[in-house]
Chains A and B, each alone.
Chain A
Amino acid sequence: MKQYFINLLLFFLLIQFAYSQTNYRVKYELNFQIDSTNSKSIQNEIMYLDIKKSKYSYFRPESIFLKDSILQSNNPQSLFSINKPKFNYTIEKVFNNNNISSYYDYTAFKFKLSESIDFKWEIINGSTKTVLDYKVHKATTSFKGRNYTAWYTNEISIQDGPYKFKGLPGLILELYDEKNHYHFKAFSIQELSDNKPYIVSEEYKLISNKDFNDFKERVKQKPSLVLQNPGIQIPKEGMDKYDRNHRERNKHKNNPIELKVNNE
């Protein structure tokens, strides 16, 4: 009997080790409501969570991953074959601490924000369902002005999830806020032999929350600020058109995932 338990323990340790040595790509579909006053303003985006051997992970839109990898290839012109992302962030999570770095790519300006987040999860016992053939368990938390429900599986013992969420005893496969304005659901889990991050962190300037919010306000006033490059000249009419169209589009963007600056 004792030998049986030892074998069982070894088996679980072996599985745990196997998971910690593997690179994964989890693909999520994100459905989000861009205008909080219009329930029909739903948009979606494919998001990648690239996990590197249980050491760190990168979470970003698929098109940001493609953009970064194409710009580092020998054929940057093929960028024109991909769609523009609806979000411009890459979130880096290191697994052995609570530090989270968010990299924002505004073409001419690249910023990095650092924060430490300790999620307070409440695990709801007895609530289970199935996502991607994995048995998932329910947990709840709140983060920067929204209350969230997460569904995680302890069949994949990676304490990670979409966006900045982490810290449950398994991988989060589904997560949504109580208004369902942001809903992430995994639709694919792949093992990768290698997953290069394709992000040159040295290009990103560390910025405070306040300065970053000031910058976003300036971009709202003048969207073409992100195209500021003294080495490239285009007709003024082209810049004005960019400003006009982006100001019009931004009118309906009033529902960011983080409603508050601090997690209170």
Chain B
Amino acid sequence: MKNLFLTLAFVFASSLSFANIDSNVAIEEEVLAMECFDFNDSCGGSWEVCHEGVSTAQLAAFLWEWDGGC
């Protein structure tokens, strides 16, 4: 019985550690998916903008409104 309990605990702990590794991989993929470019605003400034998971229209609307704070 004691052995069974230890085995189950080991299996549970192993699955958790795998889950942890998986989420790290996911985070790394997110970081890799982030795209960056230089944005030139209307008052001559240049800014690094990074984006991930947004449409071109959303990005354009954001940058148009922000415009480097000009």
What is A's interface to B at a CB cutoff of 8 Å?
67, 71-72, 76-77, 79-80, 84, 107-108, 226-227, 229, 231-235, 238-245
Residues on B with beta carbons closer than 8 Å to the beta carbon of A242 = 66, 69
Interface presence of B70 (CB below 8 A) = yes
Q: A84-B64, A232-B51, A234-B47 are in contact. Are A71 and B69 (CB under 8 A)?
A: no
Q: Is the CB of A231 within 8 A of B53?
A: yes
Q: Is the CB of A232 within 8 A of B50?
A: yes
Taking a contact as CB atoms closer than 8 A, the residue among B47, B50, B51, B61 that contacts A79 in the complex is B61
Minimum CB–CB distance for A245 against chain B, Å: 5
Q: A238-B68, A241-B69 are in contact. Are A107 and B60 (CB under 8 A)?
A: no
Q: Is the CB of B49 within 8 A of A233?
A: yes
Q: Is the CB of A227 within 8 A of B65?
A: yes
Residues on B with beta carbons closer than 8 Å to the beta carbon of A107 = 61-62, 65
Closest A-chain residue to B60, C-beta based? A76
Interface presence of B48 (CB below 8 A) = yes
Q: Is the CB of B64 within 8 A of A227?
A: no
Minimum CB–CB distance for B65 against chain A, Å: 5
Instruction: Annotate B52-64 by CB proximity to A: 1 below 8 A, 0 otherwise.
Output: 1110111111111
Closest A-chain residue to B49, C-beta based? A234
Q: Is the CB of A227 within 8 A of B48?
A: no
Residues on A with beta carbons closer than 8 Å to the beta carbon of B70 = 245
